[in-house]
Amino acid sequence: MTTLKNDLFLKALLRQPIDRTPVWMMRQAGRYLPEYRQIREQAGSFMNLCTNPELACEVTLQPLRRFAFDAAILFSDILTIPDAMGLGLYFTEGEGPKFHNPVRSLADIQRLPIPDPGAELRYVTDAVSLIRKNLQGSVPLIGFSGSPWTLATYMVEGGSSKSFQKVKSLMYEQPAVMHLLLDKLAQAVAAYLNAQIEAGAQAVMLFDTWGGMLSSEDYAEFSLRYAKQVRALLKTEQDGQVIPTILFTKGGGLWLETMTDAGYDALGLDWQTDIGQARARVGGKVALQGNMDPIALYAQPDIIKEKVKTILSKYGSGSGHVFNLGHGILPDINPDHVKAMVDAVHEYSPALHA
């Protein structure tokens, strides 16, 4: 087993003492990098890129060659599980993901298989193993999945949505059917994340991108309930090492107290939540990840540095903070601005850990 040269990220998630705040970035392997765009063109399509372990490994490593990030995150897509269930994932330029076979009825849901990660999703676990090998212990590797609720929104809507009319109608009119779908997805997500852990992921993150679209009571029943189910099924140790877990609900700032009790080691924050207030609300029970507005990276480097400084100072001294954006980086951000953010975390955070 390779000893990690930089374990700041893992220690921060477990709220252990560190000498500076670690930093990584959602979608850090992506279109803002010219070298990514070159590989994407070579692959021919986004799905070809995702399903080729060698290319997925290459784009995962690209940002680490440019920036002093403290973690790598597997390059993949949150919709790999529905695709493996037979829904026929495809991407239309400018329109995002779509499914040839959305689920709309009890019969549709009853037919859904729970994918075997070692078969239908083998390309993901192969990528994890290859990335872990190529990292050579430089930084930890993060595995991830979409949450059951978020996956269900795409599966029922047939793609992206603004109103979530179809999935919410199913939820309200046939709650038992929705619960059947979410239970299947929770089992599939847990198996998928455990397979990533066995392949080499050293932390895992659950992306609940659309949990914030729900009312408080519906979030508890249809989103958080199944995030808890996933967490209960996850491996907490691999090769003698603790595997930290992160739950990120975009728009979930209203529910931090209940999210804290879901069993995850850390909660991701979007940019609409004050991180200082969030720290007080979670009471030291979990670490926090975030939470700079991705749009702030359009600003000039001196402004970016001030934004970083503000977030760090609002969190305050001590461990338990992983610096990140409040959502994924946008495709036309200048990479030099990313460097300004990372450099600012390195410059300003050590004083908070003295």
209 a known binding residue?
Answer: yes
Nearest to 6 by CA among 284, 317, 322: 322
Whole-angstrom distance, CA of residue 49 vs CA of residue 27: 15
Residue type, 245: T
Residue type, 122: R
SS3 call for 53: helix
Angle between helices 122-135 and 53-66 (to 10 degrees): 40
353 a known binding residue?
Answer: no
Which one from 40, 132, 231, 279 is the annotated catalytic residue? 40
- Name the CA radius of gyration of the chain, rounded: 19
- Whether residue 27 lies in the annotated active site: yes
Nearest to 119 by CA among 84, 75, 79: 84
Asked whether the beta carbons of 141 and 131 are under 8 A apart, the reply is yes
Which one from 77, 83, 208, 270 is the annotated catalytic residue? 77
- Whether residue 66 lies in the annotated active site: no
- What's the Cα-to-Cα distance from 283 to each of 248, 256, 277, 287, 341, rounded to whole Å? 18, 10, 10, 10, 27
Give me the phi and psi of 290, to 5 degrees please.
140, -165
- Residue indicated by tokens 């330029």: 93
- Whether residue 31 lies in the annotated active site: yes
27 a known binding residue?
Answer: yes
Which residues, including other chains, have CB under 8 Å from residue 105's CB and lie 6 or more apart?
177
Which one from 27, 132, 231, 279 is the annotated catalytic residue? 27
Handedness of CA 236, 239, 241, 246 (dihedral sign): negative
Which one from 15, 32, 132, 154 is the annotated catalytic residue? 154
231 a known binding residue?
Answer: no
88 a known binding residue?
Answer: no
Joined together, the tokens standing for residue 341 give: 């953010």
327 a known binding residue?
Answer: yes
Whole-angstrom distance, CA of residue 198 vs CA of residue 241: 12
Asked whether the beta carbons of 87 and 101 are under 8 A apart, the reply is yes
31 a known binding residue?
Answer: yes
- Whether residue 123 lies in the annotated active site: no
CB atoms within 10 A of CB 198: 16
Which residues, including other chains, have CB under 8 Å from residue 94's CB and lie 6 or more apart?
none
- Whether residue 281 lies in the annotated active site: no
Which positions make up the binding site? 27-31, 77, 154, 209, 327
Cite the active site residues: 27, 31, 40, 77, 154
> Which residues define the annotated binding site for substrate?
27-31, 77, 154, 209, 327
